[in-house]
Amino acid sequence: MSMFSLATLFRPSQFLTIRGGIHPEYRKQLTSEAEVIRMPVPPLLRVPLQQHSGAIAEPLVKRDDLVLKGQLIGRARGAMSANIHAPTSGRVLAVGHFTAPHPSGLPVPTITLRADGEDRWGEHLPRLRPEDADPDEIAAQIERAGIVGLGGAAFPAAVKLNQRKKYTLDTLLLNGAECEPYLTCDDRLMREKAEEIVDGAGIMARALGVARIIVAIESNKPEAIAALRQFSHGLGTPLSVAVVPTQYPMGSAKHLVLAVTGKETPARARTAELGVLVYNVATAHAVHLAVRYGEPLISRIVTVSGGALAQPANVEVLIGTPVTDVIDFCGGLIGEVDRILLGGPMMGQPVQNLRVPVVKGTCGILALAPWETRKSDPMPCIRCGSCVQACPCGLTPFEMNARIQSDDLEGAVKIGLMDCIACGSCAYACPSSIPLVQGFDFAKGKLAERQSRKHQQAETKRLAEARKAREEAIAEAKRQAMARHKAQAAAKKAAAAAQAAEAGAEAPPPVPGIATDVGKEARQ
């Protein structure tokens, strides 16, 4: 525990911002001064058909098809989905499944592409002049380009734009906070492509019909602040830069809205209900490319960093590039590697198979050494309250954890489990290294599973009843057919009997004792 780390603990600015939160060691200096490098096209790319929240896209190509760069290879399925485009020209090797860039290692439908090295563009999307286009056309263009939120959540951008129809919006808030340690992709983008970001923001503001654009940037990025402060308007909409204190998790949308506008989003509501819509700066840049140049979303900037990486850098990577290719491009791994993460260290997902691809939501690839992760065995909870102090949502993580450990999941929900944003501040601050966030994820997953099981039970009950009804209907039909048959047979019998009676009336009376044929017939 050096004196420097002790001194950094005392921070007066914390009193003026969002509650709680933590101040981790940012280590952004590893990559913050490195300009974005474009990585060469890798020989093999794997493009998952699900890189967004929502339904899986349906593949439009099959094996051995030749595709061009930017060609539509996966169509959005349904209202909540996104298009997938080919990142480079080449041949489709397979349309099957591959390991998802996810800790579970479960498979996801993936299109495997062998690049031909020529990187030939196909047909671009039709370009628009946003000054003349109307909001619906801009939204359609964004949807065609397959743009999703590039801050990590990968929510389809076009679907979010639909909020303009439900709520009155007045502010477009661009999230340039980038609160996670190590990550500098947004920082570099703001420094190098400020004009494009502002243009993209202006286009989105026009699509939404908002009155102002605010770009929120943390105070630890002075160059980015200066770069964006040079612009006062985005395509006619007034633009201003709001400097927010450097704190994790400032980048959380609801907390950012609170820090910038002073308004707190009610629980279970969206920021749109306050009139504010939040988008990442990289998403704005992608919108600029899509609308002005007709380029779909096929590449993104990724920060490759960590103590176990040879040459940390910010790399512009094609979607679908295997993680191992990116790491090799940055010099490979050195020393002891404790974890390889996709994303930042606070909310990033660990992966084991390094051949998984970079997807639209991958902000960072981190190779962390043991001295950075500071892993240690969990000890019992000492009720110190550090987690309560750190929680930006005002929850009591130690109490929720205690209830989850004793399997009282509903009790945990009662004290606010569903309001947890899983930022990880509590587990970061816990002196006993208790895996709090894992417990919350487990509880939320288990509750969702119970819910879906209940739903499934209701559905199967309905199926069983439908089957019973169907069988009863068949049985009933059978019974009726049987009854009809019987009735018919009886009627036939009666008719035959009547006939025989008539015939018998004309015939001579039968001699007693002698059975004549007529008598026999009549009796039958």
Partner 1 sequence: MISAAASMSALGLGLGLLLGAAARRFHVDTPPIVDEIEKLLPGTNCGACGFPGCRGAAEAVAAGNAPVSLCTPGGRDVALQLAEIAGPECGGGAMVATMAELEPTIAFIFEDHCTGCTKCFKRCPTDAIVGAAKQIHTVVPDACIGCDACIEVCPTEAIVRRVKPRTLSNWYWEKPQPGFGATETGVPA
Partner 2 sequence: MTVPVLLSAPHTHTVFTVSRTMLMVMAALAPATGLGLYEFGWPAVFLFLVTVAAACLFEALCLRIAGRPVAPFLRDGSAALTGWLVAMTLPPYAPWWVGVLGAGIAIVIAKHLFGGLGQNLFNPAMVARAMLLIALPVQMTTWVAPAGLIDGPGFVPSLAITFLGAPEYDAISSASTLSHVKSQLNAGAGMAQILGGVPDLRARLLGAVPGSMGETGTLLLLLGGLALLVTRIITLVIPISVLGTITLLSGAFWLMAPERFPPPLLHLTSGATILCAFFIATDYVTSPVSAAGKALYGAGIGALIFVIRSWGSFPEGVAFAVLLMNACTPLIETYVRPRVFGRTRTGKPLPLKGRK
- Please choose which of partner 2, partner 1, none residue 445 contacts, taking the beta carbon within 5 to 8 angstroms, the exact cut-off set by kind: partner 1
- Please choose which of partner 2, partner 1, none residue 329 contacts, taking the beta carbon within 5 to 8 angstroms, the exact cut-off set by kind: none
What is the C-alpha to C-alpha distance for residues 3 and 449, in angstroms, rounded to an integer? 48
What is the C-alpha to C-alpha distance for residues 265 and 288, in angstroms, rounded to an integer? 29
Tokens standing for residue 237: 């909409």
71 vs 252 by CB, closer to partner 2: 252
332 vs 431 by CB, closer to partner 1: 431
Tokens standing for residue 383: 């009720």
Distances (CA, A) of 200 to 136, 138, 167, 257: 16, 11, 22, 20
Could you say which residues in the range 123-142 bind partner 1, by CB under 8 A?
A: none
23 vs 91 by CB, closer to partner 2: 23
Q: How far is the CB of 274 from partner 2 (least distance, A)?
A: 7
Determine, following the binding rule CB under 8 A, whether residue 406 of this chain makes contact with partner 1.
no
38 vs 453 by CB, closer to partner 1: 453
Contact (Cβ atoms closer than 8 angstroms) between residue 429 and residue 386: yes
- Please choose which of partner 2, partner 1, none residue 338 contacts, taking the beta carbon within 5 to 8 angstroms, the exact cut-off set by kind: partner 2
- Please choose which of partner 2, partner 1, none residue 452 contacts, taking the beta carbon within 5 to 8 angstroms, the exact cut-off set by kind: partner 1
Q: Considering only 110-118, 123-131, 177-185, 452-460, which stretch makes contact with partner 1 by CB under 8 A?
A: 452-460
Q: Considering only 2-10, 120-128, 155-163, 430-438, which stretch makes contact with partner 1 by CB under 8 A?
A: 430-438
Query: Please, how many CA atoms are within 13 Å of residue 408, restricted to the half-sphere of its CB?
Result: 10
Cis peptide before 370 (omega within 30 of 0): no
Give the 3-state secondary structure of residue 176: strand
What is the C-alpha to C-alpha distance for residues 262 and 341, in angstroms, rounded to an integer? 34
Determine, following the binding rule CB under 8 A, whether residue 517 of this chain makes contact with partner 1.
no
Contact (Cβ atoms closer than 8 angstroms) between residue 92 and residue 261: no
What is the C-alpha to C-alpha distance for residues 501 and 490, in angstroms, rounded to an integer? 16
What is the C-alpha to C-alpha distance for residues 368 and 350, in angstroms, rounded to an integer? 11
117 vs 435 by CB, closer to partner 1: 435
Tokens standing for residue 150: 């590039």
What is the C-alpha to C-alpha distance for residues 248 and 481, in angstroms, rounded to an integer? 76
Distances (CA, A) of 499 to 433, 489, 507, 509, 522: 101, 15, 13, 17, 8
269 vs 507 by CB, closer to partner 2: 269
What is the C-alpha to C-alpha distance for residues 95 and 71, in angstroms, rounded to an integer? 16
Categorise residue 124: left if φ over 0, alpha if ψ from -120 to 50, beta otherwise: beta
458 vs 491 by CB, closer to partner 1: 458
Determine, following the binding rule CB under 8 A, whether residue 97 of this chain makes contact with partner 1.
no
Q: What contacts 212, CB < 8 A, 6 or more positions away?
A: 170, 171, 172, 205, 237, 238, 239, 240
Could you say which residues in the range 23-82 bind partner 1, by CB under 8 A?
A: 50
- Please choose which of partner 2, partner 1, none residue 446 contacts, taking the beta carbon within 5 to 8 angstroms, the exact cut-off set by kind: partner 1
405 vs 516 by CB, closer to partner 1: 405
Contact (Cβ atoms closer than 8 angstroms) between residue 313 and residue 332: no
269 vs 458 by CB, closer to partner 1: 458
Q: Which of 11, 19, 374, 450 binds partner 1 (CB under 8 A)?
A: 450
- Please choose which of partner 1, partner 2, none residue 482 contacts, taking the beta carbon within 5 to 8 angstroms, the exact cut-off set by kind: none
Determine, following the binding rule CB under 8 A, whether residue 154 of this chain makes contact with partner 1.
no
Q: Which of 12, 126, 262, 380 binds partner 1 (CB under 8 A)?
A: 380
Q: Which of 223, 264, 465, 472 binds partner 1 (CB under 8 A)?
A: 465
Q: How far is the CB of 72 from partner 2 (least distance, A)?
A: 34
Q: Which of 106, 505, 511, 514 binds partner 1 (CB under 8 A)?
A: 106
35 vs 377 by CB, closer to partner 1: 377
What is the C-alpha to C-alpha distance for residues 80 and 76, in angstroms, rounded to an integer? 8
Interface ranges with partner 1 (CB under 8 A):
50, 100, 102-104, 106, 108, 377-380, 404-405, 432-435, 438-439, 441-442, 444-446, 448-450, 452-453, 456-457, 459-461, 463-468
